[in-house]
């Protein structure tokens, strides 16, 4: 089997990359180890930055998102039994976020790929990336009980933290940066309308809590729990009682209860692998970086990676220049490290460490008071939360990918709406 771009992984990164390449007339094959039902039902984050929303719309994958997603114009910070709203559009020049689950993004992109795009093989387990440093990389994979080889010009490793792609980067050129946190999130789904119309981030002496939602009738809630906690350690009554404690306010706000339909525990860690490119292998999404979920950056970083890669591949085809491909890792990592910084700041701002001192507790409260009282501090948070720009390399500038006249290159398959070649302002 042969293609221009071999994509390992049918999560949002791999599926969106395939969609963008299809629109630009570049062929690809997507290999996914799991079956379709698994991919379409695995629960993941659901906060889409403004730039991610724009890209999905431009790629023709935004219709159901716009019908069913929930636009949010702010978040609430809750501490000391008081409530403080951060107004995104007022602080960012109009940007907002969208609540739309990653599972739904994957469903939309899978349907489009199967209807219009190149091959998408479920149950195709990638075994190894070979020849990444050569002009003829290959992906060995197993599908329907037999081994096969996908020959490519380029390989996109979108196969997550545990995938095979990152292992193809030689150890002597790899650098890993990592931090593990001594707590996790107990997440629950509840069949009850959300108790607030925007996300609530609560800092409490007993630990962090988050009120989120999946739809107008389904709530998604989280509790900070010790590292190593198992979901079954918490009864439904224990979950609701603890949530009520951590969200409690002095103004009579109440938390609505309902049946819990799912419980899971998410570990918390920060991870970055440098570089994100080796030869003709390009790492994207969780294969290259992980953030704690506090900043809602994981899915959005993956989108930034594949937009950067798609731009670079189209630029190579249209101009013959490999400059954007050569700059892929540097370009992505600038954005990745800003997201890592923001996610770390949000995590340390809102979670109580098991060994926290009274001094550290007061510093947390002082940081929160600064955000509540300072427009400049709220602006910094709002700009980061709604999304960092999808930058082009410093040396290339915007015109390199868009062309001297500011339009998308010929044959790029631009669809109505914001072009994914543009740098969001």
Q: Indicate which residues carry an active-site annotation.
A: 72, 201, 293, 297, 385
Nearest Cα residue to 281 out of 128, 113, 119, 59: 128
Cis geometry, peptide bond prior to residue 275 (ω within 30 degrees of 0): yes
Q: Round to whole Å and give the CA distance between 90 and 74.
A: 9
* CA 231/CA 225 separation, integer angstroms: 10
| Integer Cα distance of 196 and 217 in angstroms | 12
Which residues does 182 contact at the CB level (< 8 Å), separation at least 6?
226, 227, 353, 354
Backbone dihedral angles phi then psi of residue 262, each to the nearest 5 degrees = -160, 140
Q: Strand locations in 167-292, DSSP E?
A: 175-190, 199-202, 209-215, 218-226, 260-274, 277-278, 281-283, 289-290
Q: How many CA atoms lie within 13 A of 192 on its CB side?
A: 19
Query: CA 311, CA 420: separation in Å to the nearest integer?
Result: 8
Q: How far is the C-alpha of 199 from the C-alpha of 201, rounded, in Å?
A: 7
- Among candidate residues 392, 394, 417, the one with its CA nearest the CA of residue 402: 392
Sign of the CA dihedral running 226, 229, 234, 240: positive
CB 19 within 8 A of CB 113: yes
Residue 82 makes CB contacts below 8 A (sequence gap 6+) with 249, 250
Q: What are phi and psi of 263, to 5 degrees?
A: -135, 140
Phi, psi for residue 68 in degrees, rounded to 5: -110, -20
């Amino acid at each position: 089997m042969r293609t221009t771009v071999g994509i390992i992984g049918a999560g949002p990164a791999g599926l969106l990359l395939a969609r963008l390449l299809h629109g630009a007339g570049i062929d690809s094959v997507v290999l996914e180890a799991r079956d379709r039902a698994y991919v379409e039902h695995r629960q993941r984050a659901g906060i889409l930055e403004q730039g991610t929303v724009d890209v999905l719309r431009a790629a023709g994958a935004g219709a159901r998102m716009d019908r069913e997603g929930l636009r949010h114009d702010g978040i609430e910070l809750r501490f000391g039994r008081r409530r403080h709203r951060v107004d995104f559009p007022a602080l960012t020049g109009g940007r907002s976020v969208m609540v739309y689950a990653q599972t739904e993004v994957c469903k939309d992109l899978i349907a489009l790929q199967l209807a219009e795009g190149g091959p998408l093989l479920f149950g195709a387990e990638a075994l190894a990336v070979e020849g990444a440093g050569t002009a003829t990389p290959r992906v060995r994979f197993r599908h329907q009980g037999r081994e096969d080889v996908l020959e490519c010009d380029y390989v996109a490793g979108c196969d997550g933290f545990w995938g095979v792609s990152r292992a193809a980067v030689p150890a002597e050129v790899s650098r890993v940066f990592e931090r593990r946190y001594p707590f996790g999130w107990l997440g629950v789904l509840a069949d009850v309308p959300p108790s607030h119309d925007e996300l609530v981030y609560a800092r409490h002496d007993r630990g962090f809590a988050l009120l989120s939602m999946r739809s107008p009738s389904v709530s998604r809630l989280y509790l900070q729990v010790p590292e190593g906690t198992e979901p079954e350690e918490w009864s439904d009554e224990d979950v609701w009682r603890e949530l009520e404690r951590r969200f409690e306010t002095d103004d009579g706000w109440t938390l609505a209860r309902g049946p819990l339909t799912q419980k899971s525990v998410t570990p918390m860690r920060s991870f970055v692998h440098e570089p994100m490119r080796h030869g003709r292998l390009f790492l994207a999404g969780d294969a290259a970086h992980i953030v704690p979920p506090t900043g809602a950056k994981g899915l959005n970083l993956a989108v930034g990676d594949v937009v950067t890669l798609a731009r670079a591949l189209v630029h190579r085809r249209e101009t013959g220049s490999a400059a954007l491909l050569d700059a892929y890792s540097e370009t992505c990592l600038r954005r990745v490290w800003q997201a890592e910084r923001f996610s770390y700041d949000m995590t340390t701002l809102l979670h109580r460490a098991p060994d926290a001192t009274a001094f550290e507790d007061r510093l947390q409260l002082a940081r929160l008071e600064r955000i509540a009282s300072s427009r400049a501090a709220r602006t910094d948070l709002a700009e980061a939360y709604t999304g960092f720009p999808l930058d082009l390399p410093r040396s290339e500038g915007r015109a390199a990918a868009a062309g001297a006249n500011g339009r998308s290159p010929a044959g790029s398959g631009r669809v109505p709406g914001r072009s994914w070649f543009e740098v969001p302002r």
